[in-house]
Chains A and B, each alone.
Chain A
């Protein structure tokens, strides 16, 4: 069996606010294997953002054990943690976080700068990665010259240019309209399938979460459910067990689940159950954006 990409054991995260301790996470244990497709869901304030920061090595737990890429983050210094993030984690944020005034290819090359890769090689790798996300023709555009969907795809290319073990996506479609968001999701899923990077997506959107093979529901700083779905719900068989109140003691190995999620065609998620509140919106014809590039 392969080494898990991320392993958390009884992780706590406590903040001191004006002398009062507030625990955002209260003993979370989970393992994310290589190549997994995981959705982390929960209402705001549930601790899912804190969990995401910990899984990405942006923050350190107050208690418990957190191993990322085989290294225990509680023993790492800030520079070591930065290097670990550079080598192991790719981030995709809701707000893209691209450097303005910097071309797409240089934005994508940014993580390689901190890896010490030479300028020419950086650009080659970044250009190749932009090609993989369908933006080979937008290398020298600046963020303000790109549509929202294109900007997020630049961000995805940036996250993956280092060939990380884990891709952490925090509400990656939150700032996009549904058609564009759909294309971005399909891209993420395709890259997950192709490259074997574990995809961990934080979302409050049940519909988005329903596409993942594994759903982790967080509430009040605890994992309320952690469920596997052998087949994606888009084929009509599954009802996401997101509100399963059972504690997530279930030890699980996702290595068998594999990247078997739906083919990434437009509207691939259209078969989701009708109880999804925004179902009627989704078939809206895709508009101006480059959905085709992803396929």
Chain B
């Protein structure tokens, strides 16, 4: 049996110094948002906020300076992320580019691609979407069918991507296409591409979520041309690249903080001397959250040390999203408050918002079942 390596991690002094700076910034920029607004942190689109963060040097923090980065440690970046999310800052515009697209280009992109995209991402001017899932390929990602056929000077793309968050308002997406069909070897023949969302032959159709909001899209490719120099990495290396990318996607503090603004509002709502039931509920949730922060920090420490914490990241995401989903359930049981859309108390609205978002917590970035499969593999069961 493999053992999990959850070692205690300690943030370095420079990271703690940075924390004070970030808090001061957030006090000015984010105060005034209610609990409902603060519950909606990394799906709230605010290009101006992202540009301010970019100006502060808080996007692309760990990247080399030659690409507009700031050569800070992964732990300093972690502090910025956890402060942004715990404050409920609107980080959606730059989130994907900072977390996945930029690191992917840094690792697998060409020099020209890095020069062209990374500085703009770091300035908070360039938003990315991710084109992975398809109508018939969700958890079984390697079964994707969107074809990129080699033509003169590039590729002709046909197929459909779904659940593409923010495709309608991002300048680019990084998409996974099948460049070669290898019978019985679905993980082979996949490649990643940088795609300009304004490319002729691309149609972006909204998919409205159950709250009536538009974040998701269906992206249809009909003979869309993607130039050769927009391929990321070698042809056929897509599966390996995507696996690396998913590790970035699964390891951050966004996997346990989604319900924190709601929890904080409920604590504020409780009196200074809460009754026994309220005290037990708050204590139980705080104990879980405090533990998750240490686990998440531990994974950040492994990333900083250059280790590959895929297994540990899967554990944190599984335990973390379970906690995120438990918060609205526990508060419903405690308060008996009617969840509301846009009337009534701020707490009721935050409850209504998080309750409706909660099903997505254990779907996005790998379903709970897929993550537990990864953990089971780590345990030697498969």
| Chain A bound to chain B | no
User: Which residues from chain A sit less than 8 Å from chain B, CB to CB?
Assistant: none
